[in-house]
Amino acid sequence: MNARLGDRSGFDAVQARAYFNHASMSPPSRAVRAAVLETIDSYAALGAGAWMHWSERRALLRDRLARLIGARHADEVVLVPNTSYGVIDIATAIDWQSGDRIITWAGEFPTNVTPWQRAADRFGLELEFLPAPCVPTDGAPLDLEPLARALRRGARLVAASAVQFQTGLRMPLEAIGALCAAHGALFFVDGIQAVGAVPIDVDAARIDFLACGGHKWLMGVEGTGFLYVRSARTAALRPLVAGWLSHEDGAAFLFGARDELRYDRHLRGTAQVFDVGVTSSTGFAALDAATASLEALGPAVIHSHVQPILDALERGLTAEGFRSVRAADPELRSCILSAIPPADLDLADCARGLSDRGIAVATPDGHLRFSPHWPNDLAQVDLALDALREWISMVRR
C-alpha cells in the first residue's frame, strides 16, 4: 500500500466517517489484512515449511522497529506479545536489592504500574508516585523539579510513558533521561502512545528499556509488540522467565545435526533472551505491513501532519465550551487532543452521540480524546465538529 498523508482509501472497511481513536486501536488497513491472509495461506500450503520464511521476515521487522526508535542495533529489539509483557520482563529481570526505589507518576496507564507494584512486593522495593504531570498550557516547559528531588533521594529506576494516555502530554524524554543518567537511575519508557507517530530516539534520550504494543500508533493488530533493551544493560539482567528460544542456538537441534539437543546452552546476551517461544506469525506479518507505511512516511512527518488537524479540533471544541488540556509548547504535543466538557454535558453521552453520528473518539479518565493518524485529514474535522454541534443542540433543547 502506498501511504499518502490524509488518504484513508487503504482503510476501506472502516465504518466511521471520521476515525479519531488511534490511541485506543488502529483499524487494520487493507495491506495489513492482506498480510494476515498471506501468512495463513502459506501455512495452509506448507505447514511447518512456512515457519522459516516468516521467522526471517520477523528479523526484518525487528530491523525496522529498531530504526523507528533510533536504536543502534536490531538485536536490542525483541518481539513480544504486548506492552505488558515487555514491562513484566524488565520488572522481573533487574537484579533488585531490597530497598531499591522505583519512581513513576500518578496518572500512568496501569500497564506501567502493576508490574512495578508486583516487583516491589516480591523484592522488597519502594514505589514512589510523583503527582500527575500538570500539562503546561501557558507555553512553559514541564516542571521536572519533583522528579529531580526524588532522584536526589536515590532511585534505581524511573518509569514513564512517552505520552500520557489521558491528556496527550508528550513527556520530555531527553530531559528525563539526562536526570536519570546524572543520578545513576535506569530509565524505562512505555512507548505505546508514541512510537510510530511521535519521534523517539532512545539513544538521545538515554532510554535503557522501552516497551510498546503494536495495535495503536504502529497500526498493527492485538497480540504484537516489542521490547527495546539497551545493549549495555543486558549483562546485568537476571531474567526470571526464559524459554527454549532464550538460549544461544536454541533451535539448532531441529535442523538435522545429531547431538544438538542440549540443555546447557547459555542464555542469549541480548534482548533476544526475552524471546521465550513461538510467537504469532500472522500478528507480526500484520505489524510488518503496517510499519512499512510508517517508516516510508516517517514519525516526524506524521506528527507534523496531525498537528493542524488537532489545532482545528481544539478551536472548535473551545468554541463549544470544552476546556482543552493540550500543551501550549509544541515540543510537549503528541498526536492526542483531550478536552473536558462543559458542566452541563455528560461525557459518556457525548461520546455516544458522536459515535451515533459516525465519529470515533474515546473517553479516558474524564477526558474527550481525539487521536488522528496519518490517514486523517482536515475535512474530517468539519464532520466531527458538525456532529458535536448537532448533538449539543439536541441535548440543550
Per-position DSSP letters for 136-157, written without gaps between them: PSSSPPP--HHHHHHHHT--SE
Please give the model's pTM, rounded to 2 decimal places: 0.96
From CA 64, how far away is CA 79, in angstroms rounded? 12
SS3 label, residue 126: strand
CATH 3.40.50.300 fits 37-294, yes or no: no
pLDDT for the residue numbered 289: 97
- What letter represents residue 276's amino acid? V
270 phi and psi, to 5 degrees? -130, -175
Does 252 score more than 90 pLDDT? no
C-beta of residue 322 within 8 angstroms of C-beta of residue 366: no
Q: What value does the mean pLDDT take over residues 144-173?
A: 98
Does 250 score more than 90 pLDDT? no
In degrees, rounded to 5, the angle at the alpha carbon of residue 238 between the alpha carbons of residues 234 and 241 is 110
pLDDT for the residue numbered 397: 85
In sequence order, the β-bridge partners of residue 159 are: 188
Does 132 score more than 80 pLDDT? yes
Instruction: For residue 144, give the C-alpha cell.
Output: 521536572
- What letter represents residue 80's amino acid? V
Q: What is the residue extent of each domain of the chain?
A: 18-27+298-396, 37-294
From CA 361, how far away is CA 38, in angstroms rounded? 31
Average pLDDT, the chain: 96
Fold of 18-27+298-396: Aspartate Aminotransferase, domain 1 (3.90.1150)
Instruction: For residue 390, give the C-alpha cell.
Output: 448537532
pLDDT for the residue numbered 206: 98
- For 33-90, the pLDDT digits (tens) are 999 999 999 999 999 999 889 988 999 999 999 999 999 999 999 999 999 999 999 9
From CA 81, how far away is CA 87, in angstroms rounded? 11
Closest listed residue to residue 18, CA positions, set 397, 377, 266, 388: 377
Q: Where are the alpha helices (DSSP H) in the chain?
A: 30-46, 51-69, 83-91, 114-123, 145-152, 173-182, 231-234, 281-297, 299-319, 347-356, 378-396
Q: Cβ–Cβ contacts within 10 Å for residue 153, how many?
A: 11
- For 231-248, the pLDDT digits (tens) are 999 999 999 988 988 999
Closest listed residue to residue 353, CA positions, set 334, 342, 368, 333: 368
**In this prediction, what percent of the chain has a pLDDT beyond 90?**
91
From CA 226, how far away is CA 220, in angstroms rounded? 12
Better-predicted residue by pLDDT, 52 or 217: 217
- What are the Cα distances from residue 165, in Å, to 24, 26, 59, 132, 335? 9, 15, 30, 12, 11
From CA 260, how far away is CA 254, in angstroms rounded? 8
Residue linked to cell 499518502: 4
Closest listed residue to residue 210, CA positions, set 57, 87, 34, 295: 87
From CA 324, how far away is CA 159, in angstroms rounded? 26
- For 102-113, the pLDDT digits (tens) are 999 999 999 999
Tell me the residue length of the chain. 397
